[in-house]
Every structure is written in structure tokens, then in C-alpha cells.
């Protein structure tokens, strides 16, 4: 399945609105700290995928959680995501583990005052591509998945309704 630039941009805008309303604690962090926060999320999702059937959260749940974080990371990186389908034949786990490792490397480079921006953007783009390849293979309605998960997350926020 193909996803248009305007559709992806709308997902990013919706994510920004969601984050402003429900995750202001993260948005109020310095951008460098936000990137490290997202890197930890990506590592967590790699772990979920690595555990396979031993993981209580489903692959589809991990897919949508990782997609939400990828959109948030793109907004922090001032990155206009685009879908580049099937750039790898590796499993979702290997693709996420590889790209999240590179995204974490970018976070570590921040502390050493080394160039990190392109590494972070490339890792995030590769995560995004892997997730949309998965969605296409599973015939998931990405827009509905995002909307449903955001609604669940909104319910957790007792101070904002």
C-alpha cells in the first residue's frame, strides 16, 4: 500500500496535537532529551519484538506504539517523513533493532558533541518504513490504528479530557 505525503504529514500534525495535549511533560524537555527519550522507547519496542510469544503486548500493539513515537521523533527532528516501501527483506524485529540501535547511537553522540542529526533522521525514517511495510503486509488501516491508540492514551490522562 502507498501512503501519500499529505497523509503522512497529517499523521505528524495529529501526533503533535496529541503530544501537546497528552504528553506535554515530554514536549517540554529540551530537544536533545526528547530524542534520548524516544531512543529509549525504540529500544523498549525492540525488546518486545525480541521476546516474541513471551511478550504480553501484541506485535500489532508494538507496531502502533512505535509508529506514534516515530511520528513524535520526526516532529522533534523537523523531519518530513515519507514512505519508501520494502527497502529490506529482514524481519520487523531485525529492522527495528537495527534502526533503533542507530537512533540510540545518535542520542549518545549528543553527549560527545558529535554530529547526530542525520543519523537520528535516517534511523527514524528506517523505523517508519519498517512499520509501514509491516502494516501493508498485515493489511492494517494505519489511520484507524493511530486514532484508536491515541484515544486509549487520552483516557489515561486524568488531568486532560
Looking at the domain assignment, is residue 88 inside a domain? yes
Q: How many domains does the chain have?
A: 1
Looking at the domain assignment, is residue 85 inside a domain? yes
Q: Name the helix (H) or strand (E) containing 3.
A: none
Q: Which domain holds residue 118?
A: 5-156
Q: Could you give the CA distance from residue 32 to residue 84 in angstroms, rounded to a whole number?
A: 27
Q: What is the pTM of this model?
A: 0.93
Q: Name the helix (H) or strand (E) containing 69.
A: helix 59-76
What's the pLDDT tens digit per position in 144-159?
999 999 988 887 765 5
What's the pLDDT tens digit per position in 43-80?
999 999 999 999 999 999 999 999 999 999 999 999 99
Looking at the domain assignment, is residue 12 inside a domain? yes
Looking at the domain assignment, is residue 161 inside a domain? no
Amino acid at each position: 500500500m502507498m501512503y501519500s505525503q499529505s497523509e503522512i504529514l497529517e499523521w505528524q500534525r495529529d501526533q503533535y496535537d496529541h503530544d501537546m495535549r497528552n504528553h506535554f511533560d515530554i514536549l517540554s524537555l529540551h530537544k536533545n532529551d526528547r530524542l534520548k527519550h524516544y531512543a529509549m522507547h525504540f529500544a523498549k519496542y525492540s525488546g518486545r519484538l525480541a521476546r516474541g510469544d513471551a511478550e504480553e503486548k501484541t506485535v500489532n500493539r508494538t507496531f502502533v506504539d512505535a509508529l506514534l513515537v516515530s511520528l513524535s521523533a520526526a516532529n522533534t527532528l523537523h523531519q518530513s517523513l515519507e514512505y519508501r516501501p520494502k527497502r529490506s527483506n529482514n524481519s520487523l524485529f531485525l529492522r527495528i533493532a537495527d534502526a533503533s540501535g542507530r537512533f540510540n547511537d545518535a542520542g549518545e553522540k549528543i553527549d560527545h558533541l558529535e554530529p547526530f542529526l542525520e543519523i537520528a533522521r535516517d534511523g527514524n525514517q528506517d523505523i517508519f518504513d519498517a512499520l509501514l511495510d509491516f502494516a501493508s503486509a498485515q493489511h492494517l488501516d494505519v489511520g484507524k490504528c493511530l486514532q484508536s491508540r491515541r484515544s486509549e492514551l487520552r483516557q489515561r490522562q486524568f488531568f486532560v479530557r
